[in-house]
Structure 1
Amino acid sequence: MRQIVSGLILLLAVTGMTASTASAEPDRSAVVAGAAGGERLITLTRWDSTRQWRRGERAGTAVRDGRLAFDQPVATASVGGRSYDVARWTSPWVEPGYAFTELIASWSTQTPKDSWVEVKVRGRHGSGDRTTWDTIARWTSGDRHLLRTTGSGQSDDGTTVAVDTWRASGLVGYQVRLSLGRRAGASYQPSLDLATAMASRLPSSAGPTSAAGPARGTVLQVPRYSQMVHSGHYPRWGGGGEAWCSPTSTSMVLGYYDRLPPPRRYRWVPDGHVDPWVDHAARMTYDHAYDGTGNWPFNTAYAAPLAGKAFVTRLRSVREAERFLAAGIPVVISLAFGPGQLDGAPISSSNGHLLVVVGVRDNGNVVVNDPAADTRRHVRRTYDRGQLERLWLEASGGLAYVITDPAHPLPEGPATNW
C-alpha cells in the first residue's frame, strides 16, 4: 500500500493573535499514513439503541429505553480528591475493514449533579496484539463539581492522544470503554443516549473539486452570530473573539433548530452581552486540559441534549455535505487557510477555524455562516467551492459536526460515515 505522508489538522489558539490571523482549535498536528489511491476511508460506528447497547459488555450498567445508565457500582475512583462510584460498558471489537490511522469518539450524555463519563479506547494490530487503554476524555455537562478534560499524550505502543483525536499506526480494530461515575453513595443515574467512534485513513490531498449535488440552490435560514463581538469576554474560558469560533458555530445550529439553552442557563452573563448563549456555550465546551473551546466532541456533547442528536464525523466532499443540506441539516466544518487562500473571508488566515455550511449557490459555490465576521450582519458569506473544499479536506480531513433535531433525521441511503 502506498504511504502518503501528510500533516493533517493544524491548530491551537495563540495568545496575542489579531483578528486577521485567528486560531481557535487545539494542536492536533501529526504525521499520518494516507489511503491507497487517494481513497478517503471513513467508518463511523454508533451505539444508540437498546439492541446496540446490549451488544457491549456491561459491568454495573443497564440498558433502559434505548439509553445506557448507571445501575450499580462495580469500582471506585478518586477524581479531584473526591471518591466516585463507577459502572462501565465496553464495546465489542470493531473492525472497519482497513488499517486506520485516526479515531475520534463522540457521545451524548446526561450527567446530573456530581457525575461524569470517561471515554477510553484501545486497539488491535493485524498480528492480534492489543494496545493499552488510552483515556480520551472525562466529560461532565457542568463545571460546578469537576472540570471536563482530555488526555493528550499517553504515547506508548504506537498510539497517542492529540486532544480529542486518537492516533495510531495502522491498527485494524478497536474497542471503546465508557465509564459512568457518580459521587460515592449517591443514587442519581448518569446515562448515555449515544456514543460513536469514527475511524479513518485519509490521503494528504483533496483531489478534484466535487460537482454540485442535491443542495444546489438551497440556503438554510441559519441565524447569524459573530464570535468577534465577544472579544475579551471571560478570559478563563478563552477570552472570546478569535478563540470562540466553535461554540459560536455550534450555537448557530442550535438557534436554527430553536434549541438554544433556556435563559436561566445563561443568566450569569451580564446584561448587555450580545448573544449571551454563546458565552454559555464557550463555558460549557471549554476543555480545561488544553485550555480552549475548540474540542470537537465537547461541542457535539454540549449540543446533543439540547438538539436531540449530535456527533463528530468526517465527510468526503462538499457534495457529501450537500446530502445534509438537502435534508435541512446545516453542518459545522473545520478548516485552515493562509493569506489569499480563501477569497472573501473576514480574516486573512487561520491555522484552525470552524464555520457553518448553510447552502449552495446555483453555480455550486458554498454559502456559509462564518463567525469570524466582525458583526452579525457580515456573517453570511459565499466561498469558492474548490477553495473551501480543499482547505477543509486537507486541514482537518473533512471534519464535521452533525447536529440534528427530531424533525430532521439523517439523510437516507448507504453511508459509512453517519
Structure 2
Amino acid sequence: MSTNAPRRAVLTAALAAAAAAATTATAQSATAAPAPAGGPAAAVPAGKKSGSAAPDDAPVDYHAWTAYPDWLFGVHHGTVPVPGERPGVRIARATGTLDYTDPHTGITATWESASWTSPVRQLPHPATELVSSWNAHTPAGTWIQVELLGTYTDGTATPAYVMGRWTAGDGDEDIRRTSVDGQGDDTSSIYTDTFAVDDPSQGKLLASYRLRLTLFRKPGTGLTPTVWRLGAFASNIPDRYTVPASVPGLDGAVELPVPRYSQDIHKGQYPQYDNGGEAWCSPTSSTMVIEYWGRGPTAADMAWVDPSYADPQVDQGARYTYDYQYEGCGNWPFNAAYAATYKDLQGVVTQLHSLNDIERLVKAGIPVITSQSFLASELDGSNYSTSGHLMCIIGFTAEGDVIANDPASSDDDAVRNVYKRAQFETVWLRTKRITASGGVGSGSGGVVYLYFPVKPSPGQRRALASVGVV
C-alpha cells in the first residue's frame, strides 16, 4: 500500500468516523473536519445530489502576494519590500525578540523578528477550508512563521493560527521545520497544514482572512529571510462521493518528458524521515517536477546520502520536506516551499475543478502533482490501495485518459502509468469515500502542487491564470 503518511491516514479515519456519527445522531456535537489529506466536510447544498456539483457549486479562491506593489501594502513592522526580478519582503530592522524552545530538539534560543501582515482578502465565497503556501529564501540561522488571521461570517475572529514554521535547512543553526498541533476554537481547527471549519452545517464559515508573516534571525546579525510569494487557497467543496467525468478537451495525445522516480526503491532508507521511501510519494513527485524544470540538488548537497543508493535526489527531497511535528514528508506547503528553494522556481498549493484544468496546464508544459486516495478496485492498474497519495500528471492519451508518473511503482521504469479518466477524476476530486472496512474516509477535493518558473512563458502564464494562479 502506498500512503502519504500513516498519521494523516489515522487522523482522516478518526474524523470521518466522527462525521458519520454526527450525521446519524444530530443531537451530538459535530466535528466533521478533514485531515490534511482530505477535503472539507461541507454539507451538500439543498437540491443537489452528491457528485453533481458544477465548478460554481465548488468554489475555490487562490490569492497570492508576489509582485512588488503587493509588498508595498499591508502592515510592515520592521520589514521592507525588495524590488527586482523576484520581488519580496525582508527584515530591515528587528522590532521584537522571541525565546523559542524547539519542541523537536529541546533547544531554547533567542531570535530577533520583524513582520508583515497582508491586506484583508475578502473571499468571493464563504470557505470551509484554507491552505496557505509560500516561497522563501531562509539562510542558515533564519526561519519564517506564517499565520492565518481570519474572520468568520458572523463577524467574529479566528485565533491567530500558525500555518507553519519553515526553514530550508536542518543544521545546528536552524530550528526544525514544523506544523503546530492542538490549535482550534469552537468553530474551526488546524490539521497539520489545513484550516477547516469543524461543522459547516452550522453556517458559520470563513469570510475573509489576512496572512501574517514573521521573519526570524539570530540576534545581532545582518541575516534575513526573503519571502517571494505568500498565498492561500480557500474553498467550499461540497460533500461528494463521485464526480461526473469531464469531457476530454485536448485534440490528440500530449505527454511531457518528466523524469521517472520510484519511491519504492527507497524503502528502508533513512527511516527517521517518515519510515523511509515507502511513504515518500510527495517528495518523490516533487523531485520529478523540479528536475523537469532543469533544477535539483548538487552533488555537494547530496553528499550526506549513502553513495550506494540510487536517485539520491529523492532522499534529499524527503529530508528537506520533512515536518517534524507531523512526522512525515507529505506536508503540502512544505513541498511547495522546498521546490521554490531551487533557482527561479515557484511552488503553489491549490485546488482545481476538473481534468480540463490539468489539460490546459499540461498543454502549456506544466506538469501537475495531484493528491488522491482510493482502493485498488477504484483505480484500475494501480494495484494498491492508499489513504493519501501524490503522483505527477504528465499527459493524456488521445482518448483523454490520464498519463501519470506514479511513484508507487516497483522501479523507475515502471513509474509511467495510464489511468482511466473517469476513475482518476473521481478519486482525485471527491471529498468522501467508502473505505475497505465500510467506513467513511476523505479525499483531497482536487488538491494539487504547481511548480513553474519565475518567468513562465506567455502560454504558461495564461494556463496558470485560467486556474486562478498569477
TM-score between both structures, scaled by the size of structure 2: 0.81
52, 56, 61: which one pairs with 1:43?
61
65, 69, 73: which one pairs with 2:94?
73
- The aligned amino acid for 2:100 is V
Aligned to 1:33: 42
Does residue 398 (structure 1) correspond to residue 446 (structure 2)? The answer is yes
Does the Cα contact within 8 Å between 1:105 and 1:195 map onto a contact in 2? Answer: yes
- 1:28 deviation in Å? 4.7
Aligned to 2:78: 60
Please list the CA deviations of residues 127-152 of structure 1 after superposition, one character each: whole Å capped at 9, or x if unmatched: 32212211111000001121000013
Alignment of 1:182-193 (within 5 A): 182-193=217-228
- The aligned amino acid for 1:204 is D
- 1:406 deviation in Å? 4.4
Structure 2, unaligned runs of 5 or more: 11-34, 102-107, 198-203, 431-442
Please list the CA deviations of residues 316-361 of structure 1 after superposition, one character each: whole Å capped at 9, or x if unmatched: 011111111011000000000013111011x420000000000000
Distance change >3 Å, CA 216–CA 102, structure 1 → 2: farther
User: Distance between the aligned counterparts of 1:62 and 1:137, measured in 2?
Assistant: 22
- The aligned amino acid for 1:328 is G
Does the Cα contact within 8 Å between 1:56 and 1:91 map onto a contact in 2? Answer: yes
Alignment of 1:119-198 (within 5 A): 119-144=146-171, 145-168=174-197, 169-198=204-233
User: Distance between the aligned counterparts of 1:390 and 1:209, measured in 2?
Assistant: 7
Distance change >3 Å, CA 348–CA 285, structure 1 → 2: same
Distance change >3 Å, CA 406–CA 89, structure 1 → 2: closer
User: Distance between the aligned counterparts of 2:44 and 2:193, measured in 1?
Assistant: 22
Distance change >3 Å, CA 388–CA 130, structure 1 → 2: same
Distance change >3 Å, CA 416–CA 130, structure 1 → 2: farther
User: Distance between the aligned counterparts of 2:263 and 2:293, measured in 1?
Assistant: 19
User: RMSD of the alignment, in Å?
Assistant: 2.1
TM-score between both structures, scaled by the size of structure 1: 0.91
Aligned to 2:13: none
Alignment of 1:361-400 (within 5 A): 361-394=397-430, 395-400=443-448
Aligned to 1:118: 145
Aligned to 2:294: 258
Q: What is the SS of the residue equivalent to 1:340?
A: helix
Aligned to 1:228: 264
- The aligned amino acid for 1:329 is I
- 1:273 deviation in Å? 0.7
Q: What is the SS of the residue equivalent to 2:338?
A: helix
Does residue 310 (structure 1) correspond to residue 319 (structure 2)? The answer is no
Q: What is the SS of the residue equivalent to 2:112?
A: strand
Does residue 301 (structure 1) correspond to residue 337 (structure 2)? The answer is yes
Q: What is the SS of the residue equivalent to 1:271?
A: coil
Please list the CA deviations of residues 256-296 of structure 1 after superposition, one character each: whole Å capped at 9, or x if unmatched: 11101111111110112110011011000000001000000
User: Distance between the aligned counterparts of 1:215 and 1:253, measured in 2?
Assistant: 24
Does the Cα contact within 8 Å between 1:47 and 1:53 map onto a contact in 2? Answer: yes
User: Distance between the aligned counterparts of 1:89 and 1:290, measured in 2?
Assistant: 26
Does residue 290 (structure 1) correspond to residue 326 (structure 2)? The answer is yes
Does the Cα contact within 8 Å between 1:35 and 1:41 map onto a contact in 2? Answer: no
User: Distance between the aligned counterparts of 2:65 and 2:43, measured in 1?
Assistant: 27
- The aligned amino acid for 1:140 is T
Aligned to 1:210: 246
- The aligned amino acid for 1:45 is H
Does residue 277 (structure 1) correspond to residue 306 (structure 2)? The answer is no
Does the Cα contact within 8 Å between 1:28 and 1:162 map onto a contact in 2? Answer: no
Does the Cα contact within 8 Å between 2:134 and 2:229 map onto a contact in 1? Answer: yes
Structure 1, unaligned runs of 5 or more: 1-9, 18-25
